[in-house]
Amino acid sequence: MQNNASALQESVRRRSRAFSPKARHILYKSFTFLLVTLAFVIFYDWLCEGPVSGLFAMGKISRSVKGYFVPVCAWVVAAVSLNLVVGFSGELSLGHAGFMSIGYSTGIVVYNLLTKGYGWENIYLSMAVTMLAAGLMAGIIGFLVGIPVLRLRGDYLAIVTLACAEIIKSLLQCLYVSLDTTDGVRLLFAFPKNTLTGGTALLKGPTASAPIGTKGTTTDLPALYIIGFALVILTLFVVFNLTDSRTGRAIKSTRDNRIAAESMGIPVTRHKMIAFVTAAVLAGMAGALLANKSTYQPANFNLDMSIMVLVYVVLGGLGNVLGTIFSTTALYILPEELRFMKDYRMLVYALVLIFAMVLSNNPVIKGWVTSIVSLVKRRRKSINLFAEESRNAFAAGDDAQGANAREVLVIEDAGENETAVQPEAAEPDSNQAELPEEVPAEALAAQAGGRLTLERLYTADGTPLDDETQRRIELGLMLYEAYVDSGKGKKKGKKKGGGKA
């Protein structure tokens, strides 16, 4: 009985939507791509002080604002990729900064090798190769890290990802790389102490390295911004395609119920690994993009940075890509621009984390939110609520909502008695599709009254139901049919109760 009721509710819910879920999802994806592209066009134009900025009267761009564009792209990519792990595969990774630092270091080495060693001129080409290398390296490390990590679950997994990031950080703090071009192009490595002499130092252990993506001595910001935008689009493409694929559904199923997924034959570890490694690759690319600023050193890629990216994800919504893009942009730029936010940034982040989690997980507060939402939607949903009442009546009056359901039934009984039996019985006809939105219970019951009779129902142990209960069930079904007809005019065949109640 309960199953029947929830199936009714589900079908009611589905019918009340303007778009099918699939169409909504496609709209959502296209909207995300469109928005990102639009933002890019406007801001690129502003960066180059082109015609559109005049159109929007955005004025001359300040030096500090210029500095935001590329890091924002990097953080968006980092946050969206972390969302892939936390939101879609449901495992908390506290080691995202570790993969970013891998990408960062690899990026510096490869970029300098290409430009200074082999004399590549084209920034797009060399950055593309750099990013590929950084992503590849981070992916390999991510795979190696994933082997022990993904065997664990929940809190253990979180703490081990944290441990792995710390290991990566302390290894990178001891890594020295320099480029020697005197006798052919050679890379010199030293670990754990700096024993290198000569050549250009690329990675200098715990201290900051030289920035990349430069043309001569100046940073080519517009080019880097284009590269950043391309990376964001690539990330969106990868994440959307992964989550919508068969693999993505498998990943989500392991998140929602690991045991059920496992018993359906889904290899859980392999799917978690796919999400984890994809996220690592994207994080590595984001790290390489960050390497255009000289303000980072290995010690910066610590737990704080992982937490910061996690805050972006949590505020944007677990599993919500567009939300993550918004929250990352806002949380990156606001603290930089607002003095107050800058001093108390971490304080605000902490409160964001706590409130986002408590508000979205506490059943009481969730109930408030739901009731506010339903207040707003009340007019549209009035008929839907009515269907819910009929469901309560249908589920018979002995449970918590019994009293309420009985009241509804009394009204309906009256209605039925008044209209008595009508000649055309059985099938409701399609004229009644034109019911107005707001139908009083009596009228609806009257219209439906007497039309629908079921064969005698039986309880599970085979005793026939008494007349009272039988009529309640019939009434519930009548009301539902009336609702269905009024909603879409789509007729559903008369529902025969399966004989067992």
207: helix, coil or strand? strand
Q: Using DSSP, state whether 458 is helix, strand or coil.
A: strand
Q: Which neighbouring-strand residues pair with 203?
A: 177
* Closer of 259 and 410 to another protein (Cβ): 259
Nearer to another protein, 1 or 171 (CB): 171
305 lies in the site for another protein, by CB under 8 A: no
User: Out of 90, 103, 397, 476, which residue is the one contacting another protein (CB under 8 A)?
Assistant: 90
The CA-based diameter of the chain, rounded to the nearest angstrom, is 104
The footprint of another protein on residues 317-336 (CB under 8 A) is 318
Considering only residues 423 to 462 of the shown chain, the ones binding another protein according to CB under 8 A are none
Residue 361 engages another protein in binding (rule: CB under 8 A)? yes
Size, binding site for another protein by CB under 8 A = 51
For residue 353, state whether it binds another protein (rule: CB under 8 A). yes
Nearer to another protein, 193 or 246 (CB): 193
Tokens 């890379």 locate to 187
Q: With binding defined as CB under 8 A, does residue 169 bind another protein?
A: yes
Q: Which stretch binds another protein (CB under 8 A): 170-178, 237-245, 323-331, 487-495?
A: 170-178
190 is an interface residue for another protein by CB under 8 A:
no
Distance separating the N- and C-terminal Cα atoms of the chain: 6
Two tokens at 495? Answer: 């529902």
362 makes contact with another protein (CB under 8 A): yes
CB count in 10 Å sphere of residue 380 = 10
Write the CB contacts of 298 (distance below 8 Å, at least 6 apart in sequence). Answer: 101, 105, 169, 172, 173, 205, 206
Determine how β-strand 218-219 pairs with β-strand 214-215: antiparallel
314 binds another protein per the rule CB under 8 A: yes
Residue 354 near another protein by CB under 8 A: yes
**Looking at 5-13, 21-29, 74-82, 340-348, which segment touches another protein (CB under 8 A)?**
340-348
The piece of 14-22, 46-54, 363-371, 445-453 that touches another protein (CB under 8 A) is: 363-371
The CB-of-313 to another protein minimum distance in angstroms stands at 9
Among 154, 267, 367, 464, binds another protein (CB under 8 A): 154
Q: Which residue has the tokens 């067992």?
A: 500
Strand runs labelled E in 121-235: 176-180, 186-190, 200-204, 214-215, 218-219
Q: Is 296 in the site for another protein (CB under 8 A)?
A: no
Q: What are phi and psi of 187, to 5 degrees?
A: -105, 130
Place of tokens 């959307």: 240
Query: Residue 233 or 303: which CB sits closer to another protein?
Result: 303
Q: At its nearest, how many Å lie between another protein and the CB of residue 350?
A: 4
Burial 169-192 (b: 16+ CB within 10 A, else e): bebbbebbbbbbeeeeeeebebee
Cis peptide, bond prior to residue 192, ω within 30 of zero: yes
Whichever of 136 and 303 has its CB closer to another protein, that residue is 303
Q: Are 357 and 315 in contact (CB under 8 A)?
A: no
Among 19, 31, 124, 156, binds another protein (CB under 8 A): 156
Which residues are at the interface with another protein (CB under 8 A)? 86, 90, 92, 148, 151-152, 154-156, 158-160, 162-164, 166-167, 169-171, 173-174, 192-193, 205-206, 259, 263, 303, 307, 310, 314, 318, 344, 346-347, 349-354, 356-358, 360-365
